[in-house]
Chains A and B, each alone.
Chain A
């Protein structure tokens, strides 16, 4: 089977930097994705890492270490609108490319 661990909640202030960690245990591994979901809304894709290292997309960056089965999402220059749930997901079913999601991290940004 597969399991993903991420913190249930993280709080930070506007303008700060926050890191959301994700550790995973899977029988196979084909990549780590991150999704953002605002309350009651649709999850939206943020980033994807298949290889070790850092991927940067604007204020958001995502990191992967396959040897440690670990990744993180880094959010810089936090804004109030970044308050949302963030899910990591691993692709561990190679033939189907379907991600398995973690339980999500609720990020609360304070003024």
Chain B
């Protein structure tokens, strides 16, 4: 079955450590996205990529980095520069410039900083 796989589902990190969240899709979608979700704040866009080897900052990119070396993969690194990294991270993909702009989401990764 096609879909988006995020790993790990739960992750604990000590302050000052970088961590990388994995996102893989087998939907053959061109565009991929990373959102951060905090209680009561909805989904906020961190980074997005519309094509391999290209990505753009979203609304809250500071303290995060991404790469898009393969169409299927869009890993997110949460760096030590991110001041409040504890959150639920959602990866999504879309066909690209679809009429509806429908996003397909992974099951998320919950990061907790100890």
| Same complex | yes
Chain A residue, CB-CB nearest to B102: A45
Q: Is A66 engaged at the interface, CB distance under 8 Å to the other chain?
A: no
Question: Could you tell me if A103 and B40 are in contact, using CB atoms closer than 8 angstroms?
Answer: yes
- Once bound together, how far apart are the Cα atoms of A2 and B79, in whole Å? 28
The number of chain A residues touching the other chain, given as a range, is 20 to 34
The number of chain B residues with a CB under 8 A from chain A is 30
Question: Could you tell me if B40 and A98 are in contact, using CB atoms closer than 8 angstroms?
Answer: no
Q: Is B17 engaged at the interface, CB distance under 8 Å to the other chain?
A: no
User: Residues of B contacting A102 with CB < 8 Å?
Assistant: 42
Sample of 26 A–B contacts (CB below 8 Å): A8-B40, A30-B101, A33-B100, A33-B101, A33-B102, A35-B103, A42-B90, A43-B43, A43-B105, A44-B105, A45-B102, A45-B104, A48-B102, A87-B42, A87-B43, A96-B48, A96-B50, A97-B96, A97-B97, A98-B45, A98-B58, A99-B101, A99-B103, A100-B45, A103-B42, A104-B42
